[in-house]
Structure 1
Amino acid sequence: MIYIYNCYGGTHSSIQAIAYHLKMLDETREPTKDEILKLPNFNKLVYGNRGELFYYGSDEDGNKVYVVGRGRSKVLIPGLYNLTSMLHKEKLLNEKIIFSNTSPTVPLPMTFGGLLSRGLKIDFLGVPLLVKGAKQSYKNVIKLVNHTKKASKEDKSEVIILDNKEFKKK
């Protein structure tokens, strides 16, 4: 099975999701600033990395875990879905693929932090907001990851897209 977490830039909420999925972060407590900033590719990817799949490791069940930043594209994930579905039909791929959108977990501080840090290159303002947002959203991200794992086991489809809108902060 292959998990592909996706969000706008592939460098904040998706990275948090893979960190919980791969047990890089402890689910029983809020992550520290240092833990957040040491995550692989946290706040490191740039515009040119959008659409690029990044592999982060295999989980305890041997499932591969990836991230992709989709930017503003409304067609990237459906396009990847169509491609992987076609590869299944042609018997060129036999692994289940789960696309899980982490964007609904993003709180306002993370949105502004990403804009300031990645978009405007103002790290001294953006990074503290990103850390604040990661701390605010950690419980919601854990719920999303657990939901993604559960859906992957329950849904018998070969390719699944989870929009995860139920994780949107109200």
Structure 2
Amino acid sequence: MIYIYNDFGGTHSTVMAATYHLKKLPQDREPTRQEILTAHNFNELVYSDRGKLFFHGTDEDGNKVYTMGRGRSKILVPGIYHLLLMLEKEGALNDKIILSNTSPTVPLALTFGGLTSRWLKIDWIGVPLLVKGIKQAYQDIIRLVHHTKDAARRSDERILMLENKQFK
């Protein structure tokens, strides 16, 4: 199975979801500032990285975990979904693939932190907001990852696109 966590930038909530999914972050407490800031690709991606898949590792069940930023595009993820459906129909896919939107977990502090740090390059303001936002969102991110894994296990569909609107 392949999991692809996606959101606007692909460098904050997606990274935390992938890192938690891979059991590199605890479930029983908020991650520390250091754990957040040292997560693979956290706050590192730039505009030209949108649409690229970034591999984060293989989980305990042998499933691959990726992240992706989609930018403002409302068609990128549905386009990928329909491409995957076509490849499945043609017999060109061997894995079940789950596209999971992490955007509904993003609080205002995380949005402003990303804007300030990634777009305006003002890290001394943006990074503390990012850390605060991740801590605010962390339980929702945990629930989203568990929901994503459960949906993948329960579904007979080979390609799943989860909008996760219930996390707003």
- TM-score normalised by the shorter chain: which range applies? over 0.9
Inter-partner Cα distance in structure 1 for 2:38 and 2:27: 16
- Matched with 2:64 is 64
Give every structure 1 segment of 4 or more consecutive aligned residues whose post-TM-superposition deviation is greater than 4 Å.
none
- RMSD across aligned C-alpha pairs, in angstroms? 0.5
Inter-partner Cα distance in structure 2 for 1:165 and 1:82: 20
- Matched with 1:82 is 82
Q: Which runs of 5+ in 1 are unaligned?
A: none
2:26 is aligned with 1:26: yes
- Matched with 1:136 is 136
Inter-partner Cα distance in structure 2 for 1:41 and 1:86: 30
Inter-partner Cα distance in structure 2 for 1:153 and 1:94: 16
- Matched with 2:107 is 107
Give the CA deviation at 1:78.
0.6
Inter-partner Cα distance in structure 2 for 1:89 and 1:67: 24
Q: In structure 2, what residue type is equivalent to 1:108?
A: L
Q: In structure 1, what residue type is equivalent to 2:36?
A: I
**SS at 2:82's partner residue?**
helix
Give the CA deviation at 1:27.
0.9
Q: Which runs of 5+ in 2 are unaligned?
A: none
Inter-partner Cα distance in structure 2 for 1:21 and 1:156: 21
- The Cα offsets for residues 10-34 of structure 1, whole Å up to 9 and x where unpaired, read as 0000000001100110111011000
Inter-partner Cα distance in structure 1 for 2:72 and 2:130: 20
Inter-partner Cα distance in structure 2 for 1:35 and 1:19: 10
- Matched with 1:152 is 152
Inter-partner Cα distance in structure 1 for 2:162 and 2:83: 17
- TM-score for both structures, normalised by structure 1: 0.98
- Matched with 2:164 is 164
Identity %: 63
Give the CA deviation at 1:155.
1.1
- Matched with 1:119 is 119
Q: In structure 1, what residue type is equivalent to 2:153?
A: K
- TM-score for both structures, normalised by structure 2: 0.99
Inter-partner Cα distance in structure 2 for 1:12 and 1:42: 6
- Count of aligned residue pairs for this structure pair: 168
Give the CA deviation at 1:94.
1.8
